[in-house]
Amino acid sequence: MIIDGKKVASEIYEELKKEVSNLSEKVYLKAILVGNNEDSIRYINQKKKWAEYLWIDFELFHYEENFDEQELLNKIEWLNDDKKTHWFIVQLPLPKHIDTAKVINAIKPEKDVDWFTKQNFWKLAIWDSSFLASCTPTWIMTLLEKYNIDVTWKDVVVIWRSNIVGKPLSLMMLNNSATITTCHSRTKDISYYTKKADIVCVAIWKPWFLTLDMINKNTIVIDVWFTVRDWKIYWDADFETINNNWNMITPVPGGVWAMTVAMLMQNTLKAYNIQNEK
């Protein structure tokens, strides 16, 4: 059974559009893009498209691949101090000559709508109920909720340990009373854990890594990413075989970008409301 991220995203966009239409002030979202990574450009274009659909004012600062790190930090400092800039994002990945951690943590936490800074990650770690959260983990939790999948009591395997997705997702699952196993490249036998799992979340950019023999008949598979080789798309999970076995599974593409962008817009509205309450 396919878990339809596009359908859920569409429903969220309509809810957000109603909310924005009732606001008395304009909502602003700004973004920085360095370089011409094709995936990043497509991603930014999706963010711009849906921001405009929701009547959110979106402004992009696009710089060349060789843009100086200090110049980028200067721009972030300017956005931090600019009273007309309520929130902004820095599109990842950044070129190799730029220190990603330094750039992300230069953003003021209150303007970090992606929720990537150390201070905001800490709020998730201590289970601060007022927090936003980084977009991909949020869409996974939202998608499960929309399909009435309660993670309480569930055994959940997260195959990924990045600061942007793997770690925050593991924390969010833990905060919702799931039992978590986080696997990675140095896990000795990943299938030992996935065979016992109620839910497996995988995002490792390895074609068809998660196969049917690695899960049980009731395992729910959240496939977060894909790889393109020779113009062909390969999922991290063997989608066709797993889907034909009647396991619940997300399609990729079709389940990732749509929902992640929707979560960014939802974060933007949440941040707006939090700021107005203050």
User: What amino acid is encoded at 90 in this protein?
Assistant: V
Cβ contacts of residue 90 below 8 Å, gap of 6+? 31, 32, 76, 103, 104, 107, 114
Is 82 considered catalytic here? Answer: no
Instruction: Let me know if 114 is a catalytic residue.
Output: yes
Catalytic (active site) residue 189: no
Determine the Cα–Cα distance for residues 60 and 131; give it in Å rounded to an integer.
25
- Strand 226-229 vs strand 232-235: parallel, antiparallel, or unpaired? antiparallel
Which entry of 4, 75, 91, 146 is annotated as an active-site residue? 91
**Per-residue CA distances from 226 to 126, 212, 222 (Å):** 32, 17, 12
CB-based contacts of 52: which residues, under 8 Å, 6+ apart?
A: 58
Active-site residue (options: 47, 146, 154, 167): 47
Residue 13 and residue 162: Cα distance in Å, rounded?
27
Closest by Cα among 266, 165, 186, 189 to 173: 165
Q: What does the chain come to in residues?
A: 278
Which residues are part of the catalytic machinery? 47, 91, 114
